[in-house]
Structures are given as structure tokens and as C-alpha cells.
Structure 1
Amino acid sequence: MTREDMLARLIAQASTEGGDLVTLRAIVEEASELGANRVLHRLGLSDPSAQEDIDELRELLSAWRDAKASAWKAAIDWIVRGVLALLLVGIAVRLGVGEMLS
């Protein structure tokens, strides 16, 4: 019996016998499962290798985030070094080191 059949039977049962709590919970559960399966199918994630694909995408996203953070850290490091180098050059010019070397 498919989920669609089960859902149809539960709805028919609820309409003929009344909707007790157990029947209503079963309807909600079956409808939720059916909806979730439809969404996974529409997204192309209903095949057996979908979990491996998701895991691989998560690893790729994690690696991208690590690379991005590393690139920002390196860029800031180089900017700080450049500013410090300019500061040292400015101090050297201010103290007249260029004249002393000539």
C-alpha cells in the first residue's frame, strides 16, 4: 500500500467514523511524509545517493568557508604589515636616516 492509499483510507475513516485523535495524528503524519517525499523528489534528492551528495556539498561548503576566512586573514595580515612598513619608513625619514646614509 502506498502512502497516497494510506492517506486516502485514513481520510475516509475519519469522515465515516469521526475524527478521533489517533486518526487525526495518523492523517497528519502520513500527509507530512507524503509532502516531504514530494519535496525531496522535486529537489532531486530522492535517490539513494542523495545523502552522499548532501554530505559532499556540506564538506565543499565548509572548505569554501575555511578558504574564505583564511584569505581574509592573509589580506588583513598583509595590510597590517604594509602599514607598519610605511610607519617605519616615515619614522626613518623623520629622523633623517636618509641624510645619515649619504
Structure 2
Amino acid sequence: MTEPDNKPAHVENMLLLRKEDFDELLDRAAQRGAERCLAHLGLENGSAARDIRELRDLLEAWRDARRTAWQTVVKVVTTGILAALLVGAAIKLKLMGGSQ
């Protein structure tokens, strides 16, 4: 009987890597993938962080403007309703020179 061989079995097209080598390979692949993604989005140059910051600021300004517009609409409608109520009360109480 032959003794068991302690060498790893040779499998075609398979690399035997240490964990550190595998982690380094994954890190490089992730870095390349991120670079390709940024290049696809047109953010590959050094100003990508500034561009994204500006986009976030622009989006925040848009949200603030939209919120302010809705608040203004609510205030105008509320003021209009209160003004109509006051005019109606003045007419009812004959304070505005209505028919006597």
C-alpha cells in the first residue's frame, strides 16, 4: 500500500494562494472595479469628491427651496382664508358701509 501524499492535489487551472495573497488580489480587483465605475460616471479625475459634494449641496438647496415654496403656499392660503373671514365678518356686522 502506498503512503498518503501530503502534497496538495494538482487541479488544472486552479491556483493555490495564501490568505494574504488572496486578500491582496481581492483588494486590487475592488480598486480596479471602483476606478472603472468612477470612469464610467465621468468622475475619474481628482475632483470627483468635490463634484459629489457640490451635487449634494445642490440637492440640499433644491429640497430647501421646495420646502420653502410649500410653506409659502400654505401661508398665502391661510392668510387668504383669514382675510375672507374678516371681510365677511365686517360685512355681516355692517362695518364696511354695506346696505343699511
TM-score normalised according to structure 1 size: 0.69
Do the aligned partners of 2:91 and 2:98 also contact (CA within 8 Å) in 1?
Answer: no
Q: C-alpha distance in 2, partners of 1:101/1:46?
A: 77
TM-score normalised according to structure 2 size: 0.70
Gaps of 5+ in 1: 1-13
Identity %, equivalent residues: 38
Higher Rg of the two aligned structures: 2
Gaps of 5+ in 2: 1-13
CA deviation after TM superposition for structure 1 residue 99, in Å: 5.6
Residue 31 (1) aligns with residue 26 (2): no
Q: Which has the higher contact order (CA 8 A, sep 6+)?
A: 1
Q: How many residue pairs are counted as aligned between the two chains? A: 87
Q: C-alpha distance in 2, partners of 1:97/1:43?
A: 68
Q: Which has the higher helix share?
A: 1
Q: Which moved more, 1:90-99 or 1:19-28?
A: 90-99
- 2:9 match: none
CA deviation after TM superposition for structure 1 residue 48, in Å: 1.9
Q: C-alpha distance in 2, partners of 1:63/1:23?
A: 46
